[in-house]
């Protein structure tokens, strides 16, 4: 589904991604962990071209997406993204946040989009917040709505960039719950997170990134119980 070939990304002299080659298949739940500054967020943001790769190729559903003339907007519809800081649109109601993209892109009529949005909101138990503005709801609610907003575009893959890092501890659970449900429904997911419990429970594959490289990866059980790389052992001993 996603093929990354020799991906490099530099900011000035700072080499953030160092020659990453990786394949992610449909239905996988890939969890990326690693110390801050390891390049994991940049890697994720390269996948939907929020960052432009310095070199290398990214293929999505059989198309190379980072070549000149590729329709980036088209591809992004199929890749939902959830951000650390939610990035809900503060000037729009919850309902308008969800329906903005499908309606603006003429994928659905306003009524259809509204129905879809309500259905999604009901699923996360927030249908009573449809007319609220983002400033009136909690962080956990914001992030669940941000997830639903991405889902309204009916994406083939969901990218999560530290979705719980900006939340109060008591709100982490409700967001992870939504993500678990999504995983159970078969969504392809790539998740950058510090939630080791989530990685272990939901991930089909866990990657450890450091200094712009994927140092080690494995299915979660072996990954956590039998780490090979010293750097990973060190990291796990600090976070677990």
Partner 1 sequence: MSIWEQIYSNLIAQDRWMLILRGLGTTLLIAFGAIIVGTLIGAVICLFRMSNIRVLRWIGTLYITVIRGVPVITQLMIFAFVIFASYSMPLNVVAIISFGVNSGAYVSEIFRAGIQGVDIGQTEAGRSLGLKKWQTMVKIVFPQAFKNILPTYTNEFIVLIKETSVAGYIAIQDLTKVGDMIRNATFNAWVPLITTAVIYLILTLGLARLFSLLERRLARSDRR
Dist. CA 129–CA 196, nearest whole Å: 31
First to last CA, the chain: 32
Q: Is 68 or 238 the residue whose CB approaches partner 1 more closely?
A: 68
CA separation (Å) from 104 to 49, 61, 134, 167, 217? 21, 24, 20, 30, 40
- Closest C-alpha to 195, from 183, 211, 213, 212: 183
Q: Is 83 in the site for partner 1 (CB under 8 A)?
A: yes
Binding track, positions 84-113, relative to partner 1; x by CB under 8 A = -x-xxxxxx-------xx--xx--------
With CB under 8 A as the rule, give the number of residues binding partner 1.
Answer: 28
If one asks whether residue 70 binds partner 1 (CB under 8 A), the answer comes out as: no
Residues of this chain, 20-59, that bind partner 1 according to CB under 8 A: 48, 50
Q: Which is nearer to partner 1, 69 or 90 (CB)?
A: 90
CA-wise closest residue to 240 among 229, 230, 228, 225: 225
When the beta carbons of 83 and 208 are compared against partner 1, the nearer one is 83
Which member of 20, 33, 58, 81 binds partner 1 (CB under 8 A)? 81
Is residue 129 part of the contact set for partner 1 (CB under 8 A)? no
- Asked if 209 contacts 31 with a C-beta cutoff of 8 angstroms, the reply is no
Question: Closer CB to partner 1, residue 70 or residue 236?
Answer: 70
Dihedral pair phi/psi, residue 192, rounded to 5°: -95, 125
DSSP 196: H
Q: Count of CB atoms within 10 A of residue 96's CB?
A: 17
Binding to partner 1 (CB under 8 A) within 144-173 occurs at 146, 149-150, 153
Nearer to partner 1, 8 or 107 (CB): 107
Q: Name the residue nearer to partner 1 (CB basis): 79 or 175.
A: 79
Query: What is residue 135's DSSP assignment?
Result: G
d(CA 232, CA 209): 9
Binding to partner 1 by residue 11, rule CB under 8 A?
Answer: no
Is residue 142 near partner 1 by the rule CB under 8 A? no
Rounded to an integer, what distance in angstroms lies between the CA atom of residue 170 and that of residue 155? 29
Closer residue to partner 1 (CB): 34 or 155: 155
Please list every residue from 176 through 205 that binds partner 1, using CB under 8 A: none
The dihedral of CA 33, 34, 37, 43: what is its sign?
A: negative
Which residues here bind partner 1, judged by CB under 8 A? 48, 50, 73-74, 76-77, 79-81, 83, 85, 87-92, 100-101, 104-105, 133, 135-136, 146, 149-150, 153
């Amino acid at each position: 589904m996603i093929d990354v070939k020799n991906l490099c990304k530099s900011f000035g002299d700072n080499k953030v991604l160092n020659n990453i080659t990786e394949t992610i298949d449909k239905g996988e739940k890939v969890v990326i962990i690693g110390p801050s500054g390891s390049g994991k967020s940049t890697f994720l943001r390269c996948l939907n071209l929020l960052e432009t790769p310095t070199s290398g190729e990214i293929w999505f559903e059989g198309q190379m997406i980072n070549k000149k003339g590729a329709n980036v907007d088209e591809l992004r519809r199929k890749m939902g993204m959830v951000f650390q800081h939610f990035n809900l649109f503060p000037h729009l109601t919850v309902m308008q946040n969800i329906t903005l993209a499908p309606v603006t892109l003429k994928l659905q009529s306003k009524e259809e989009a509204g129905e879809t949005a309500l259905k999604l909101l009901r699923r996360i138990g927030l249908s009573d917040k449809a007319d609220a503005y983002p400033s009136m709801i909690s962080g956990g609610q914001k992030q669940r709505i941000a997830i639903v907003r991405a889902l309204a575009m009916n994406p083939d893959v969901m990218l999560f960039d530290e979705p719980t890092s900006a939340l109060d501890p008591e709100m982490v659970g409700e967001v992870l719950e939504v993500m678990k449900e999504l995983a159970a429904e078969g969504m392809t997911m790539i998740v950058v997170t510090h939630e080791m419990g989530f990685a272990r429970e939901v991930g089909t594959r866990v990657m450890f990134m450091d200094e712009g490289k994927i140092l080690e990866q494995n299915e979660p059980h072996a990954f956590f119980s039998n780490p090979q790389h010293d750097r990973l052992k060190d990291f796990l001993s600090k976070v677990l």
